[in-house]
Amino acid sequence: MPMQLCLLVPLADGEAARQALIDLDFLDKTFTPKRLGDELALPIQEAIILDGVEFVHRIDTVEVKFAPPSIDPHNRLLKAILPMIDSNKELMQSIPKKWERLDDLILFPKDAFQGDNWSLVIHRNKDFFEHIADALKAQRIGRQQPIADDQMRSSQVELLHGNDAWVEVKDNGLTYGFDATKVMYSSGNVTERHRMASVDARGEVVIDAYAGIGYYTMQLLVHANVKHVHACEINPNSIKALDWSAKKNGVESKITIHPGDNQVTLRKLEGSANRVLLGYLPSSEAAWEPAVRALKAEGGTLHIHMNVEEERIESWSEETMQKCLDFAENSGRNWSIVSHHLEKVKWYAPRIRHVVLDVSFSSSNSAS
């Protein structure tokens, strides 16, 4: 059993002392308080001077037990790691407090368990990440890395424990499958995925210009009952995942995957769609012009994703709609805007929001 610094008080004052330690954030809940004769030993994080309290107390090192398993996953993680770091305070403070779970894969932030001290711990404990997986009831452990600065925005997740990174994620009644080390999955876009599931698009032909693994495509096919989706995607790993998900969700007959650069594939789809999704960050502007051309001659709807400074959202919306009208005019289409909506998806960075501008166009001949 571990030796731990404790505050010892008379049994009668145990509750008052415990509350005082909680208020001061000094009670160490990793360990269980222990009765020693007429005293109660309360585990503390470090030596403390209690001024102004009405009970007798002293500090000593006591052999204690770990607290019972907690439903709090952070506490379970802490208990798994503490024996391997000899209760090193500096390392304790750097234990991750948040992570992402994909299927049975835990993804920690990019700075988790990094540095010389952690490297030494991991070297000494060959089963370090196996203990972490057990504590978090997972089979695999990974660490996030910055998204690759390439056209495909490839994932660069580092797999730390486990044989592969293929995961199957259930969301809103459907299943996505993908290799988490090769393609990215944005949990933060859940509200937008579900919004696409409820969009009024029954019977429509839709183009997803940046289909990825099918974030929005699957929602449209399974829940919005669109007629067909043309999915444009350049990343072979995303295409593999997209094809898998289409079959898994029973919609493979309603999707056509167009591999390659959407600057090429969109132009081959000119005049075919009722709706085009432009879900690429930080900016989808490169595809606006071919997306406008891809809509049917009588008009249609664009869903334009962008990262925009909060104070510029209104002006950006107006400028974007005008640019799209200009693209339409240059392609011989006399369109007007019949409706528009601005959806704020999430904060992307301080002062910068991920937004989606929905714009519906109609030709003069069909506006009536």
pLDDT along the chain (368 residues), means of 10: 91 89 86 92 89 87 84 86 88 91 94 95 96 96 78 74 94 94 83 93 97 96 96 96 97 97 96 97 95 97 97 96 96 94 90 95 70
Q: What CATH number is given for 3-63 in this structure?
A: 3.30.70.2580
The fold for domain 168-363 equals Rossmann fold (3.40.50)
Non-local (6+) Cβ contacts of 134 within 8 A are 80
Q: What angle do CA 158, 159, 164 make, to 5 degrees?
A: 135
Instruction: Give CATH superfamily name and number for 73-161.
Output: Met-10+ protein-like domains (3.30.300.110)
Asked whether the domain spanning 168-363 has the same topology as the one spanning 73-161, the reply is no
What is the separation of C-alpha 235 from the centre of its chain, rounded to a whole number of angstroms? 20
Q: How far is residue 245's CA from residue 239's CA, in Å, rounded to a whole number? A: 10
Report pLDDT for 71.
65
What is the separation of C-alpha 32 from the centre of its chain, rounded to a whole number of angstroms? 35
353 in helix, strand or coil? strand
pTM of the model: 0.76
Which residue spans within 144-254 are E strands per DSSP? 158-161, 166-171, 174-179, 205-208, 228-233
What is the separation of C-alpha 131 from the centre of its chain, rounded to a whole number of angstroms? 24
Alpha-carbon distance values, 352 to 49, 345, 355 (Å):
45, 11, 9
Q: Where are the domains of the chain?
A: 3-63, 73-161, 168-363
Report pLDDT for 368.
43
Cα end-to-end distance, the chain, whole Å: 80
User: Contact 259/238 with Cβ under 8 angstroms?
Assistant: no
User: Contact 325/317 with Cβ under 8 angstroms?
Assistant: no
Cis peptide before 282 (omega within 30 of 0): yes
Q: How far is residue 172's CA from residue 331's CA, in Å, rounded to a whole number? A: 39
Report pLDDT for 367.
46
What is the separation of C-alpha 319 from the centre of its chain, rounded to a whole number of angstroms? 30
- Report the residue count for the chain: 368
Report pLDDT for 89.
84
DSSP symbol at 85 = H
Q: How far is residue 68's CA from residue 84's CA, in Å, rounded to a whole number? A: 19
Alpha-carbon distance values, 343 to 124, 207, 309 (Å):
50, 20, 14
Q: What angle do CA 195, 156, 256 make, to 5 degrees?
A: 45
